[in-house]
Structure 1
Amino acid sequence: MLGLTLRDEFKSKRLKGTAIELSNDSHTGATQIAAQAFLNITYPTHDLLKGIDAVGPGKGRPVVVIGERGLGKSHLMAALYHSVNDPDSTRSWLNSWSTTLGDPNLATIQLRDPMTVIGESLHRQRYKFLWDLLFDRHPHGIYIKGKWEGMGEAKTDIPSDQLIVEMLEKAPTMLLLDEFQTWFDGLTNTKQYPWKVWAFNFIQILSEVAKERPDLLVLVISVRNGSSDAYQQVHRVNPVAIDFQAGGNAERIQQDRRRMLLHRLFENRLQIPTATIAAGINTHVVQSFRLLDVPPAEQERKRNEFAESWPFAPHLLRLLEEQVLIATDAQETRDMIRILANLYKSRGESSPILTAADFRLDDDGSGIGALLDSVSNEHHRTLRAKAQQNIISVTEAIPRHAELLPHLQEVIGALWLRSIAVGNMAGAEPATLQVDITHSIAVDDNAFQAELSTIVENSFNIHQDGMRLVFREEENPRAKLMACARNDKLFTDGSDQAQLSKQIRYVIGGADEVAKQFRVIALPRSWQSDPWSKLEESERPDRWDDRLPVLVLPEEPENIGPSLGRWLKDHLQTRRNTVRFLLPVTGSSNAFQDRDLLILARAEMKAQEWSGQNPEYRKLHSEYQSALRDMLKKRFDRFAVLHRWNYADPSQCMFNVEVLKRQGSQIPDAIEETLINDLFVPEDFEDLALEAAAENTAVGKLLRELQEPRPAGLDCIPWLGETMMKERILRLCARGRIAINLRGMELLQAHPGEDGDLAWKRLRPKLAFTGRQLDEITLMLPSAAPSTGGSPASSQPVSAPQSGGLFPPAAPNPPTDSHVDPSPFGEGGTAPLGNIFGSPDASAERPRDAYSAPATSSLNLIGKLEGWGIGPATKVSDVVIRISAANGAQLKELLKKLPDGMTFEIRLEKEAE
């Protein structure tokens, strides 16, 4: 990347620690190496220059470095060590930076002459008391220690200020106490071991000596904060406080910090021309301004900020500094250096500018590992695992993910990093993510929105929080459901297609009143080659009942006539004329290949399956079910029924295709209305029925013929269902066009001069037979029917026979094609009898309809009464009940059951003994 070079310590596969130690046993500490080598990796920040100036000649105040772990306290103290121990190297370093930064003030900073410098990191607990450190490391320390210990009873608990001054007069000293607060807070403070009190008093002595005799002692200590007892005694003497705030100037703080980071990481960062950097990152900068709506007045300042932060984007550095690391126990600058070094090693050569999208979740070397080590937060590790699982979910759900989702890893990585921020800053808006993935080539807005939408829909831990997207540990029910629904591998068993068929059946025929009349069958995806094997047994043709079959096609066939004709020939052997084909909207794809429909069907099915886990899934089930049904209602707008049939050449078949103006469960009724009003030709049906009557054809046979296409290229008569077809046959009968022989028991036909509507009402209940019973009912022409068949009875009285018996004998050989058995009083039907024994009645002169039935059981006779319309209040007369044979007991039982309030006459023939 433009020849940028990492420092050697960051080039190895495993980074060395970036923590600064003043000294160590391997003699590689910051105060144990040459000043020039140390200052070479040091950037002159405002705080560092302030510290060097504070320990210069003539300065009389102790120096306190205040800051939490990792801010660079130890590095600053090491620089102060070298500024006093090796002022020549420090002078050269200041002059060099004065030239580089164009700041002559750096060259004017005064440096002390060389003096004894004692530096110690107290957290190593090498010394119990501070005076031990002085006595051990000062050139005259052994002498003063012996003098103090030899004072006998005059010896004090801690060395006096006089002893300290005497020692320093021999060799003026600079004392650097790193991690002073850590050491001080760990001291005991009991009556027996009052070590904290002693340390408190001794640091007061040192502070006062440093203030009063700056020529003898320069005191520098570091603490984590200014509220501890460790700092209070030094604070009393008004020390110089260095708190890494760059004088309170936020812009100066940010500039110092970033320059320090870049100088610490790279050997030659300042040697890269600004113009070259600007040209390399121009695409990213321009897209950033556009996507984030940066006002023109701010753009120049922002450009400079991008150039200052390169090779890292300023929004990445802010994210790490202000949101990610501040939310954890990370050690600020120290960990920031490790994270950025790893990121540059992994992605620096492939990206002109490094952003949050370069933190690849599949690559620990991209800075993720260093970040997680710094964070030490189990929540963020878990969130990373969730994000990785989401990547797997997306790749499994999208077969061509490499082509369709080119920025998958970058988007997920950026969103994960932005999701571990604190508070309401967690997550990112889509525009921010688009900026993150933009490097040398601009990303098309529409393509990115489509890609991001696909990623979100198939990731079940991404939540929508207002305008922001955010990763969370808990699953997003909607996202999980849709991620599952979009994963084709989970539905290889065809359960989604079965669910879609189920919903199609419900939408078209789900209503109870529809289901009673129509059988709605959603043909499968392979409807043209294998329509039945994947359907339930009850939906196959051999299991069809009398309901009208509505076959829902998943797609619009090419050349409807030939296609459906061939289909009928190959896949339906009977009842070909009964089928209604429901057609989808022109241009629609196969329903079982329509991804939108399949995904909704999957979502609806899985939401119902998971509804017991989370109430949210119940809501989603209703939502997706409603959306799916709404789409299915609008999908079908036409139907086709057979018009002309050609078995020998199905390509010559013709179908009537009619437009539907209704949707959903109203479709079946709309089909029937169209058939009845527009396609059914009553004259054709009448001609066919008359032909059948002329041949005395059974009603059952006629109905079966109507369920099949008419041969010889004749127009098919639409099948309206058994009930409707029987009704039309009865209407022809009521109009006197045909007669109907009811199984030899009754003949149905219109009376001469009878009104058609009245005849219809009279005849309508007669043809209540169904199934095989209709094969015993024949059609005939009215002229072929006996004159007694349902015609009005004669009004002339007929004389009763004189023979005895309970009932008059029946006429021999009654005709089998009449519904009225012969009367015992001759042909005609009605006798002037007032009771069952044949006595005359005045009402005989009134016209009456005559009915009779052959010998059968009493239960069947009761049924006949109901069939003749005789209810409890119906007046009947001339009732004759004939018993061909009985014994005395049966006759007696019969007489007991005759109703009270009536009189009866009996005639019978008794066999001779």
Structure 2
Amino acid sequence: MLGLTLREEFRGKRLKGTTVDFKNQSGTGALDVSAAEFLSITYPSHDLLKTIEATQQGQSRPVVLLGSRGQGKSHLMAALFHLCHNSETGASWLSEWAEHLKNPQIGNLKLRNDCFVIAESLHLQRYKYLWDILFAIHPKGNYYEGKWSGMGEKKTDVPSYDLMMEMFTDQPTVLILDEFQTWYEGLTNTKQYPWRNWAFNFIQILSEIAQKNPEKLVLVVSVREGNSDAYQQIRRVNPVDVDFKGPYAKRDRQRLLLYRIFENRMQVPNGDIAKATAAHVSEYFRLSKIPPQEHEKRTEDFVESYPFAPHLLKLLDDQVLIATDAQETRDLIKILVDLFKTYDSKKTLITAADFSLTNEKSGVASLLDSVANQLHKDLREKALRNYEVVVEAVPNANTTISHAEEIISALWLRSLTVDQMAGAEPYELQIDITGDKPIDDNRFEVELANIVDNSFNIHQVGSRLVFKREENARSKLIAHAKNGKLFQNGEDIDHLAKEIRAVISGSEDVSAKHRVVVLKKKWQGDPWSEFDEKQQPKSWNDGKLPLVVVPDYPEKLEVILGKWLKDNMQENRNTLRFLLPQKGTGNVYYDRELLVLARAVFLAMKWKTTEKVYAELERSFRKDELIPKLKSRFDRFALLSEWNYAEPAKCQFEEAKHDAQGDKIPDAVDRLVREEVFIPEEFEEYVLKLAENSESVGKLLKDLKEPRPGGKPCIPWLGEIAVKERVIRICAEGQIALNLRNMEMLQAKPSEDPDDAWTRMKGKLGTGKHLDETIMLLPDAVSVSGGKTVVTDPVTGETNSVEVVDTDGTGSFIDTGSTTTGVTTTGSGGVPGNIFGGDDEVSTVSKKPCSAPPTSGLNLLGQVESWGIGPATNVNNVALKIGKMTGAQLQDLIKDLPDGVTFGLDLEKEEGN
């Protein structure tokens, strides 16, 4: 940093104290060292020059140094001692500074060289009474102490005015009393020990002598407060007040600091400083919106304060040290030295960002040592924890928020100020982290947003950001939500899936009709392991339409979904409708924004039981942020169109957008399937085909739940209720007749209006096993003549008739030949021709032989489906041919045979020779 070198006492690992002791046992006190040595670390501040001027010949007032601890009063008094005690060295020192500062008036100051100099720090309590100092140190002190003691009955409580005048006439004196107020206020003041009154009287005597006879006595004292009792008596003589608060105080203190800290600060050329800090200064002007007419003056401020930024010194001097009750200059030196030792050498200026929270050797430690307020110490721990949370929560923190520590450190320091000025504007933080290159505004905004969002002790107060001890509930929630380590058991995935399901199946109407299944992370390989048993496909027996939500849009939709159906759905493959996300949005569970919002809602639900504020945050995050994003996330659906078990990659799917959001999606998908995908003619054709073979409605439902084999287009599944309604409608139109469990025949009457027939028939199909006992017939196989229902077997052509009576004109017929209500029919779905036991032989059903050569089990299963054999198809005389197998394989095969079926076994056993 332009070759700056710390003074020797600051170079060690442990910083020596900067407190000025007049004398100490080690002989290193300010008065123990030589005048040249002490003056070499002394800057001629305005206050020091004012004190020298006030003590010149002809001055007629005492001097009082006013200021709180650590402002440099003791250093100034020690400097005055050396200047007067060794006037030749002092005069040389003034001449050098007059030349260096180009101020001849400094060299014209006249030092007192005719006085004996006494300097004492009263707080050390070396003397019981003030006059003891004079009697002990003054060259004529012993004589005048004896003279006062020998006055006998005339001896006064304190040495008299005349006695002191005589002693100071004998030897003019400069009396320097440091910590006068501290000493004075420690005196007792009782009737037995009126020591404070005595001190009060004696200081009055000294003050009057110094005022009226400045050539005999120069009195210099220091006090902390101008309204103290210690100051009142001196004040009566109108002393010269050096209050460290004049118009030059800040500038002088800054120069004093730099001169005190660095050996060669005054030797660094201003031009070099201006060039090194140009980038930072330029950004400072831009971000702070400094008008051009002030640029020159502000640039000089940067040169003057180098290597520290003027805004840092102003912050520390005007706000932080005041707010923390630090000892101003004394503590500021320690802080700045530690900062310089640990600063980032890549930066050209030291700013608030260099108060590293993570580096205990930085200026933070010195600052905290100076802080008397526990609140500010606690705030450092809060800020450090916030930094750790931010780094954990933000992905790729090293690059995404590379300035995180600097920003948080600067904000923490700026939050130590008084309430009205606490915290920082965002642009101030950007200035703090700016080095020799500008920082992109957009990048800084992103970094700051990440930090604020993940820090739970940063509060927004107007336009300012402030670190506070109390937690920002919203920021805390977000910070925890972004920490993936808190959700290692997948609670966040589960909750996001629940939120998606709630958004899509939110209303009661939707949840009553549709089963929304939101697949999770393992959706392709092992989807059902992430669901309870009651939620798995084998439990989907409530008639709801399954709407399966896929987390991400498959790159090869047919390949992925075809394989998924084959591997993960053993039955009812044709009932599924796949809800897909928008193309290009990626996997919903890897969408960090959605995942963080879901986590926030999840945590708020947990925390609201102890803190009510989180109940409102739960509502806010869910309603205002998460739900709006989820409602439009899934904008399309897919439906199986052609099935290929052997090569699932060749399956075909219908895909379309549904133009709905949230809980309107299931009904919108259902409407599109009914109106645009479902082809009524294909459905009717299939129903008529089954009716030709007198198949049951139950078989129709089972067949429709499975994809059609042989590459035939699938008939979309509309749900059991919709299928039954369409079967009734076909019946009402006269295309088929329905034999309801041999108890009732549904058939359109000649010339009957289809709507009337529909009204008469609807709701009579029943559910469950009743559907397996309800037979679909072609109208040609059923006729009504002379009160008899005649049913023709479609396979054999045989007929059977039963006399029936239409008792109510509704088309329901009663068998008059028996006491049992019903219809006697023949055919595969009928009953024996004589229900009373005359002819028990059931008509023959045609059987189609199917055969396949030996192949793998997977290929054999595909072949079975290609034959049109579904779950509801009956097969007879099944013989499984196995070329060769071991006894173990045979045993496994037998163990896996289904229950409730009888088996025969023929085999050839190999035996040895």
TM-score (norm 1): 0.86
| Aligned counterparts of 1:500 and 1:711: Cα–Cα separation in 2 | 37
Q: Residue 110 of structure 1 aligns to which amino acid in structure 2?
A: K
CA 633–111 in structure 1, closer or farther in 2 if over 3 Å, else same: same
Aligned length: 813
| Aligned counterparts of 2:345 and 2:404: Cα–Cα separation in 1 | 20
| Aligned counterparts of 1:817 and 1:342: Cα–Cα separation in 2 | 112
CA offsets, 1:246-297, max 9 Å, x none?
Answer: 3xx2xx2221111111111111101000010111111111111111111111
Task: Show the 5 A alignment for 1:379-528.
Answer: 379-528=375-524
Q: Which residue of 1 aligns with 2:267?
A: 271
Counterpart contact for 1:745–1:817, Cα < 8 Å: no
Q: Which moved more, 1:167-176 or 1:722-731?
A: 167-176
| Aligned counterparts of 1:827 and 1:317: Cα–Cα separation in 2 | 111
CA 437–853 in structure 1, closer or farther in 2 if over 3 Å, else same: farther
Task: Show the 5 A alignment for 1:712-727.
Answer: 712-727=710-725
CA 262–790 in structure 1, closer or farther in 2 if over 3 Å, else same: farther
Q: Which residue of 2 aligns with 1:567?
A: 564
Q: Which residue of 1 aligns with 2:54?
A: 54
| Aligned counterparts of 1:550 and 1:348: Cα–Cα separation in 2 | 59
Q: Which residue of 1 aligns with 2:882?
A: none
Matched, 1:774 2:757: no
Aligned to 2:361, what secondary structure does the other structure show? helix
Q: Residue 166 of structure 1 aligns to which amino acid in structure 2?
A: E
Aligned to 2:193, what secondary structure does the other structure show? coil
Matched, 1:337 2:325: no
Q: Which residue of 2 aligns with 1:347?
A: 343
Counterpart contact for 2:114–2:172, Cα < 8 Å: no
Matched, 1:66 2:63: no
CA 789–384 in structure 1, closer or farther in 2 if over 3 Å, else same: farther
Matched, 1:222 2:216: no
Deviation at 1:848, TM superposition (A): 8.1
Task: Show the 5 A alignment for 1:761-800.
Answer: 761-767=759-765, 769-787=766-784
Task: Show the 5 A alignment for 1:200-219.
Answer: 200-219=200-219
Counterpart contact for 1:747–1:789, Cα < 8 Å: no
Deviation at 1:747, TM superposition (A): 0.5
Q: Which residue of 2 aligns with 1:635?
A: 633
Q: Which residue of 1 aligns with 2:838?
A: none
Q: Residue 530 of structure 1 aligns to which amino acid in structure 2?
A: D
For structure 1, list consecutive stretches of 5 or more residues without a partner in the other structure: 793-814, 831-845, 865-913
Counterpart contact for 2:352–2:413, Cα < 8 Å: yes
Counterpart contact for 1:751–1:791, Cα < 8 Å: no
Deviation at 1:852, TM superposition (A): 4.2
| Aligned counterparts of 2:561 and 2:399: Cα–Cα separation in 1 | 40
Counterpart contact for 2:344–2:354, Cα < 8 Å: no
Deviation at 1:849, TM superposition (A): 6.5
CA 126–474 in structure 1, closer or farther in 2 if over 3 Å, else same: same
CA offsets, 1:218-257, max 9 Å, x none?
Answer: 11111112212211221111211111123xx2xx222111
Deviation at 1:757, TM superposition (A): 0.4
Q: Residue 210 of structure 1 aligns to which amino acid in structure 2?
A: A
| Aligned counterparts of 2:199 and 2:82: Cα–Cα separation in 1 | 27
Identity %: 52
Q: Residue 638 of structure 2 aligns to which amino acid in structure 1?
A: A
Q: Which residue of 1 aligns with 2:890?
A: none
Matched, 1:597 2:594: yes
Q: Which residue of 2 aligns with 1:290?
A: 286
Deviation at 1:171, TM superposition (A): 1.4
Counterpart contact for 2:355–2:362, Cα < 8 Å: yes
| Aligned counterparts of 2:611 and 2:780: Cα–Cα separation in 1 | 76
Counterpart contact for 1:747–1:790, Cα < 8 Å: no
Counterpart contact for 2:516–2:549, Cα < 8 Å: yes
528, 532, 536: which one pairs with 2:532? 536
CA offsets, 1:189-238, max 9 Å, x none?
Answer: 11111111111111111111112222211111111122122112211112
Aligned to 2:636, what secondary structure does the other structure show? strand
Counterpart contact for 1:486–1:599, Cα < 8 Å: yes
| Aligned counterparts of 2:607 and 2:471: Cα–Cα separation in 1 | 13
750, 753, 756: which one pairs with 2:754? 756
Q: Residue 290 of structure 2 aligns to which amino acid in structure 1?
A: V
| Aligned counterparts of 1:552 and 1:69: Cα–Cα separation in 2 | 71
Deviation at 1:399, TM superposition (A): 4.4
| Aligned counterparts of 1:679 and 1:585: Cα–Cα separation in 2 | 21
CA 39–741 in structure 1, closer or farther in 2 if over 3 Å, else same: same
Deviation at 1:685, TM superposition (A): 1.0
Aligned to 1:117, what secondary structure does the other structure show? strand
Counterpart contact for 2:547–2:577, Cα < 8 Å: yes
Aligned to 1:427, what secondary structure does the other structure show? coil
Q: Residue 748 of structure 1 aligns to which amino acid in structure 2?
A: L
| Aligned counterparts of 2:476 and 2:800: Cα–Cα separation in 1 | 74
Q: Residue 465 of structure 1 aligns to which amino acid in structure 2?
A: V
| Aligned counterparts of 1:566 and 1:591: Cα–Cα separation in 2 | 21
| Aligned counterparts of 1:34 and 1:204: Cα–Cα separation in 2 | 33
Q: Which residue of 2 aligns with 1:25?
A: 25
| Aligned counterparts of 2:148 and 2:499: Cα–Cα separation in 1 | 98
Aligned to 1:222, what secondary structure does the other structure show? strand
CA 362–788 in structure 1, closer or farther in 2 if over 3 Å, else same: farther
Q: Which residue of 2 aligns with 1:360?
A: 356
Aligned to 1:713, what secondary structure does the other structure show? coil
Deviation at 1:828, TM superposition (A): 4.0
| Aligned counterparts of 1:503 and 1:147: Cα–Cα separation in 2 | 99
CA 153–497 in structure 1, closer or farther in 2 if over 3 Å, else same: same
CA 776–23 in structure 1, closer or farther in 2 if over 3 Å, else same: same
Task: Show the 5 A alignment for 1:614-633.
Answer: 614-626=611-623, 627-633=625-631
For structure 2, list consecutive stretches of 5 or more residues without a partner in the other structure: 790-797, 823-913
CA 788–743 in structure 1, closer or farther in 2 if over 3 Å, else same: farther
Matched, 1:125 2:121: no
Deviation at 1:444, TM superposition (A): 1.3
Deviation at 1:434, TM superposition (A): 0.9
| Aligned counterparts of 2:786 and 2:235: Cα–Cα separation in 1 | 130
| Aligned counterparts of 2:460 and 2:27: Cα–Cα separation in 1 | 54
Aligned to 2:762, what secondary structure does the other structure show? helix
- Root-mean-square deviation (CA, aligned residues, Å) is 2.2
CA offsets, 1:439-490, max 9 Å, x none?
Answer: 1222111111111211222221111112111111111111111111111111
570, 576, 579: which one pairs with 1:579? 576
Task: Show the 5 A alignment for 1:130-149.
Answer: 130-149=130-149
Deviation at 1:817, TM superposition (A): 9.4
Deviation at 1:115, TM superposition (A): 2.1
Aligned to 2:567, what secondary structure does the other structure show? helix
| Aligned counterparts of 1:228 and 1:854: Cα–Cα separation in 2 | 127
CA 62–348 in structure 1, closer or farther in 2 if over 3 Å, else same: farther
CA 306–618 in structure 1, closer or farther in 2 if over 3 Å, else same: same
CA offsets, 1:286-341, max 9 Å, x none?
Answer: 11111111111111111000000000000000110111000122111111111111
Counterpart contact for 2:760–2:810, Cα < 8 Å: no
Aligned to 1:765, what secondary structure does the other structure show? coil
| Aligned counterparts of 2:359 and 2:787: Cα–Cα separation in 1 | 97
Deviation at 1:613, TM superposition (A): 2.6
551, 556, 561: which one pairs with 2:553? 556
Q: Which moved more, 1:511-520 or 1:646-655?
A: 646-655
| Aligned counterparts of 1:239 and 1:855: Cα–Cα separation in 2 | 140
Counterpart contact for 1:149–1:155, Cα < 8 Å: yes
